[in-house]
Structure 1
Amino acid sequence: MTQSRPSRSTPTPTSLTERRKAATQLDIARAAAELFTEKGPDGTTAEEIADRAGVALRTFYRYFRSKQDAVGPLLSTGGDRWRALLAESGSQVALAQALESAAVASLSSPEPAAKDEGLRWTRGLLRAARHDPALRAVWYRVNQESEERLLPIVTRLAGPDCDPLEVRLVAAAATDAIRVALETWALADTDTGEAASPAPLVVRCLRELTGGLRLLTARL
């Protein structure tokens, strides 16, 4: 079967066509996540995902190269929201605080049902990824892409005189801090209390991994 190009997390679509494509990709991603939860990645086929999403198999392969790749849009949603919020940070906020505040806000939602759904999918997919190398590869790719897209935002916020090496370290450390926090939270045995949200772990990991970076103590 012909392989399509790899899916990529992208900036918010602006044209009607782009929005329709993004909506179709998200429908497929949700269908894949549902089936992975019910049957596991090994027990799920691309045909079943396409059927659950209500699209033709050729449409599935137009957007995704594999069944695991199909959940990329769900896994990238949180990072997209985090970067968008960070880009709106005020000029008087230390970069460390801006990163932390944006990360915590990205885990919240004015619509609790939407937030809970997103966290439920994330937890289920990260748990499944422990036993599926292809799904882990999608998760790592999503994080790598998020780091790359974070870099210009941090560069702009840090100012024209910032050290490019420090900016890269900040982008890498912040991305990995959130990745580790989400992976640790996903494997927790309880869904109640603090463990119901990854926010406390995100804050802890951000402070631990970025605490020694000088750039983060400067005012924007």
Structure 2
Amino acid sequence: MTAPSGRTGRPPLTEARKAEIRLEIARAAVELFVAQGVTATTGEQIGQAVGVSARTVWRYFPSKESCVRPLFSAGIDVIAALLREWRPGHPLPELFDPALTTGLLAATGPDGATGTALVRLTRTEPGLRAIWLQTYDEAEPAFARALADRAGLPADDLRPMIQAAMLNAALRAAVERFAWTEAVADAGVGETVGVAEVAETLRSALAIAAEGVS
């Protein structure tokens, strides 16, 4: 009798399924960080919330703080797509009307109040702060490529690079300011964070950036 050939056991995970698992872990980590703090949260707890082992968590992420990275990174792709679709002659702040901001918040994962609570934690948790800043560092070249594509310029042209740097800094400042506002900080997890308020903060930041330095 000839022995069966080929692989046995579970089929390998697709890249799409791996991305889903990463996002599931990220959302679970955020909920735990916000509910009980980063220090009190373990890899085992994150895994249990998703239904996987701690070993699986560490297979996808090098540290518990890095588990939130997919939620931060998701927004980069959304904003880069918006920049490519930004119509000539239209003010930059119009990128963030309430409808588009709703999609942006949905892409980044948790409900609005939980997401802003996570941003607040980046102020006091060095590990999360490092991931937060690293995400924005990676966003800048993505924004520059989108702006260069839109303008038909080379990827290494200085103009989209400077524009991307200003845009990136404005977005981070706006998100942090919104999250750290006292009224928002007082909102409980699970409460609705006004999409219109988020959109207005982002529009204001972009309007300031568009004015340039005088």
> Where on the TM-score scale, by shorter chain, does this alignment land: which range?
0.7 to 0.9
1:108 aligns with 2:102: yes
Shift of 1:195: 8.4
- Name the SS for the 1:41 alignment partner: coil
Q: 1:55 to 1:146 in 2, by over 3 A?
A: same
Deviations 1:125-153 (A, max 9, x none): 11111111110000001111111211211
Q: Paired residue for 2:22, among 21, 25, 29?
A: 25
Q: For the residues of structure 2 that align with 1:205 and 1:194, how far apart are their CA atoms?
A: 17
Aligned AA (1:69): S
- Name the SS for the 2:103 alignment partner: coil
- Name the SS for the 1:42 alignment partner: coil
Q: 1:17 to 1:88 in 2, by over 3 A?
A: farther
Deviations 1:56-96 (A, max 9, x none): 22221121111110001112222221112222334xx23x7
1:131 aligns with 2:131: no
Deviations 1:90-119 (A, max 9, x none): 4xx23x73x433344541239x98889443
Q: For the residues of structure 2 that align with 1:39 and 1:108, how far apart are their CA atoms?
A: 27
- Percent identity, aligned pairs only? 36
The match for 2:75 is 78
In structure 1, the gaps of 5 or more residues are: 1-15, 214-220
Q: For the residues of structure 2 that align with 1:114 and 1:155, how far apart are their CA atoms?
A: 24
Q: For the residues of structure 2 that align with 1:19 and 1:187, how far apart are their CA atoms?
A: 34
- Name the SS for the 1:107 alignment partner: helix
Aligned AA (1:108): T
Q: Is the 8 A contact 2:112 2:193 kept in 1?
A: no
In structure 2, the gaps of 5 or more residues are: 1-12, 185-191
- Taking the TM superposition and a 5 Å limit, the aligned residue runs for 1:58-97 are 58-90=55-87, 93-94=88-89, 97=91
The match for 1:153 is 146
The match for 1:198 is 198
Q: 1:212 to 1:195 in 2, by over 3 A?
A: same
Q: Is the 8 A contact 2:72 2:108 kept in 1?
A: no
Q: Is the 8 A contact 2:76 2:142 kept in 1?
A: no
When normalised by structure 1's length, the TM-score is 0.76
1:188 aligns with 2:185: no
Q: For the residues of structure 1 that align with 2:210 and 2:179, how far apart are their CA atoms?
A: 22
Q: 1:22 to 1:194 in 2, by over 3 A?
A: closer
Deviations 1:142-187 (A, max 9, x none): 1111112112111111223798212111011101111100000001
Q: Paired residue for 2:161, among 161, 168, 186?
A: 168
- Name the SS for the 2:183 alignment partner: coil
Q: 1:139 to 1:87 in 2, by over 3 A?
A: same
Q: 1:141 to 1:115 in 2, by over 3 A?
A: closer
Q: 1:190 to 1:212 in 2, by over 3 A?
A: same
Aligned AA (1:71): V
When normalised by structure 2's length, the TM-score is 0.78
Task: State which drifts further: 121-130 or 173-182.
Answer: 121-130
The match for 2:211 is 211
Q: For the residues of structure 2 that align with 1:196 and 1:38, how far apart are their CA atoms?
A: 26
Q: For the residues of structure 1 that align with 2:193 and 2:34, how far apart are their CA atoms?
A: 23
